[in-house]
Amino acid sequence: MKTAIKEMPKTTTAPESKSKQQGSQTNVNESKLQELFVDGLKDIYYAEKALVKALPKMIKNATAPQLIEAIKGHLEETKDQVIKLESVFSELGLKAQAKKCDAMDGLLKEATGIMEECEKGMMRDAGIITAAQKVEHYEIATYGTLSAFAGILNHSKVADMLHEILEQEKNADLKLTEVTSMIIKL
């Protein structure tokens, strides 16, 4: 059975002026952006607190001394980041509040699964690195965006604080990459 395809009438409309297009892209409601920004802060605050609980499990399951040391170092940094986020909330005149972060919960659930499924030793270490770097990339994306939002909203001190955490996350990711090439051998 053949279906007739009806040809759509051709319409021509003049493209919007470039300035009108740009204006619609740059006009963001400040209060809505502030709301999105604070929601993101609550989300990452939850995520960092969840990570503080999860990293000891990764340390316990890791075998390579370099990996254990890298994760221990990041655990201490993460504890400090929780405190820094509390300072961010304070700087904004808000009470530090966590909002369930489905993304971090999913990443940590995946990490647990990897640790359970991988054979102890180098394979499990490789799995832990994989899971940890996924977490770092999520955090890098989040802190990058939140730092930019803070700048747009003229929260310059907060933007600096978030950028500092962003740099720590980037360094943690680099450290994990370095550890990978040191400990994973075929």
Which H or E run includes 13? none
Q: What is the pLDDT of residues 39-68, one digit of tens each?
A: 999 999 999 999 999 999 999 999 999 999
Q: What is the pLDDT of residues 63-83, one digit of tens each?
A: 999 999 999 999 999 999 999
Question: What's the CA gap between 59 and 154, in Å, rounded?
Answer: 39
Rg of the chain's alpha carbons, rounded to an integer?
22
At 160, is the secondary structure helix, strand, or coil? helix
C-beta pairs of 171-174 under 8 Å, 24+ apart in sequence:
172/70, 172/73, 172/74, 172/77, 172/136, 173/133, 173/136, 173/137, 173/140
Q: Rounded mean pLDDT of the chain?
A: 89
Cβ–Cβ under 8 Å, residues 170 and 140: yes
pLDDT band at 19 (very low <50, low <70, confident <90, very high): very low
Of 76, 58, 61, 43, nearest to 146 by C-alpha is 43
User: pTM for this structure?
Assistant: 0.83
Burial class (CB in 10 A: 0-12, 13-18, 19+), 103: middle
Question: Percent of the chain at pLDDT above 70?
Answer: 85
First to last CA, the chain: 58
pLDDT band at 14 (very low <50, low <70, confident <90, very high): very low
What mean pLDDT do residues 119-143 have?
96
Residue 180 has pLDDT above 80, yes or no: yes
Question: What's the CA gap between 28 and 105, in Å, rounded?
Answer: 30
Domain boundaries, the chain: 30-183
Of 44, 29, 26, 136, nearest to 88 by C-alpha is 44
For the domain spanning 30-183, the CATH number is 1.20.1260.10
What mean pLDDT do residues 14-37 have?
66
Residue 90 has pLDDT above 80, yes or no: yes
pLDDT value, residue 26: 57
pLDDT band at 9 (very low <50, low <70, confident <90, very high): very low
